[in-house]
Amino acid sequence: MIETNATQINRSQVYMNQANMNQENMNQRRSVVSDLAIELHEILKEQNAKQTPPREENIPGVEVTNEGTEQIKISRVRITSIQGQNALGKPMGNYITIEVPDIKYNDTVLYENTCKALATELAGLLKLREKSTILVVGLGNWNVTSDSLGPKVVSKLMVTRHLIQYVPEEVEEGVRPVCAIAPGVLGITGIETGEIIRGIVDRIRPDCIIAIDSLASRKLDRVNTTIQISDTGISPGSGVGNKRMDLSRETLGVPVIAIGVPTVVDAATIANEVIDLVIDNFMNQPGEGAQFYNMLKNINREDKYQLIQRVLEPYSGNLIVTPKEIDEVIERLAKVIANGINIAVHQGITLDDVNRYIN
């Protein structure tokens, strides 16, 4: 059927309007500092619920499932189409979030269970062969505690490639060749991290890469308590507006599994949550002001966030905050991630075996 010019123009206008709406949604989500797919999904659901009329709760091309326990909650976000990719602003693939609210406390049983949960989820994404070589990349700046997660994980790994190469008789059956590097950051090395990793990949030809990095969150209660695993690679520094070259199958030629923990939150997010808590408190107080505070409560969260950002801008700029106990928490999280990797990549290796190998 031949379309008239008017029909073509109308259809083009519809596509442009849809594109503008998608871009507007993506800009709103980018205004909230977060690397977590589960949080981007939450933002989009909140926006859809406040539309007039409310939009469908399910987002086309995005599948979300939840399981686990109160101590270890596991959420899976799977982006299956271009439509879902555009809606969330994340590449198509799998994003697994493990939330452990009490991981910051020194609970040995919870620590061990978290290591095992991480190993199980990671093994499901890796799909390794018996002799697969794994390259682990610890991204971040080892001189900045909140950004040192990657290098600390590397220091706690069972690195075995050299042992298999030079003393294979000393290596137990089921141990795979693992090598690791903490390449530093551009400000220290003068070299893009992606360029360093590409050179190593070209030389040693690993079957897959596991990249660890510190992330940013939009919620205080997810800072230092949440681990995200994805099979879509990673963009170092993207959460704090300092995005570098992507590390992904497209740029490196091998699968890239990303593991990250949100270790920072921006000042506007903190102010937003504090204001919400104050409003909730006043709403519960008897008096004439309850109606006014109820009105404040109904203001769109993202609108309120952007207003706070504008107010803070002259005083604090782009202020990123991390908890005061960050040293101790990073150390514990680095052990959790390292041991999760150790168990996932080596066949038949248990946490007890790892503890004998790593001090």
For 47-83, write each residue's pLDDT tens digit. 777 666 666 567 889 999 999 898 999 999 999 999 9
Structural domain includes residue 87: no
Asked if pLDDT for residue 36 goes beyond 60, the answer is yes
* pLDDT score, position 243: 61
Residue 258, beta-bridge partner list? 211, 230
What distance in Å separates the CA atoms of residue 12 and residue 239, rounded to the nearest whole number? Answer: 34
Instruction: Work out the pLDDT band at 266, boundaries 50, 70, 90.
Output: confident
Structural domain includes residue 143: yes
CA distances from 150 to 147, 184, 263, 333 (A): 8, 9, 12, 10
What distance in Å separates the CA atoms of residue 217 and residue 239, rounded to the nearest whole number? Answer: 8
Mean pLDDT of 218-241: 83
Instruction: Work out the pLDDT band at 5, boundaries 50, 70, 90.
Output: very low
Compute the radius of gyration of the chain from its Cα atoms.
23
* pLDDT score, position 216: 87
Q: State the burial class of residue 228 (Cβ atoms within 10 Å of its Cβ: 0-12, 13-18, 19+).
A: buried
Q: How many CB atoms are located within 10 Å of the residue 246 CB?
A: 18
What distance in Å separates the CA atoms of residue 75 and residue 118, rounded to the nearest whole number? Answer: 12
* pLDDT score, position 119: 96
Strand 178-181 to 134-138 pairing = parallel
What distance in Å separates the CA atoms of residue 156 and residue 338, rounded to the nearest whole number? Answer: 6
Comparing 14 with 212, the larger pLDDT belongs to: 212
* Full domain range(s) for residue 202: 125-268+320-357
* pLDDT score, position 22: 41
- Cβ partners under 8 Å of residue 76, min gap 6: 63, 64, 65, 66, 94, 95, 96, 97
Comparing 99 with 145, the larger pLDDT belongs to: 99
Structural domain includes residue 30: no
Q: Do residues 86 and 128 lie in contact, with contact meaning Cβ atoms separated by under 8 Å?
A: no
* pLDDT score, position 320: 78
Q: For 148, what's the count of Cα atoms within 13 Å in the CB-facing half-sphere?
A: 17
Comparing 140 with 106, the larger pLDDT belongs to: 140
Instruction: Work out the pLDDT band at 13, boundaries 50, 70, 90.
Output: very low
Structural domain includes residue 49: no
Q: The domain spanning residue 234 has which CATH number?
A: 3.40.50.1450
**Sign of torsion, CA 342 345 346 350?**
positive
* pLDDT score, position 277: 77
Structural domain includes residue 129: yes
Classify residue 141 by its DSSP letter: -
Structural domain includes residue 75: no
* pLDDT score, position 138: 96
**Sign of torsion, CA 323 327 333 337?**
positive
What distance in Å separates the CA atoms of residue 207 and residue 220, rounded to the nearest whole number? Answer: 36
Structural domain includes residue 258: yes
Global pTM?
0.81
Mean pLDDT over the full length of the chain? 82
Q: For 139, what's the count of Cα atoms within 13 Å in the CB-facing half-sphere?
A: 29
Instruction: Work out the pLDDT band at 220, boundaries 50, 70, 90.
Output: confident
* pLDDT score, position 86: 92
Asked if pLDDT for residue 241 goes beyond 80, the answer is no
What SS3 class is residue 207? Answer: coil
Asked if pLDDT for residue 1 goes beyond 50, the answer is no
Q: What is the pLDDT of residues 151-209, one digit of tens each?
A: 999 999 999 999 999 999 988 888 999 999 999 988 889 998 999 999 999 999 999 99
* pLDDT score, position 2: 35
Q: How many domains in the chain? A: 1
**Crossing angle of the two packed helices 301-316 and 5-31, in degrees rounded to 10:** 60
Structural domain includes residue 304: no
Asked if pLDDT for residue 334 goes beyond 60, the answer is yes
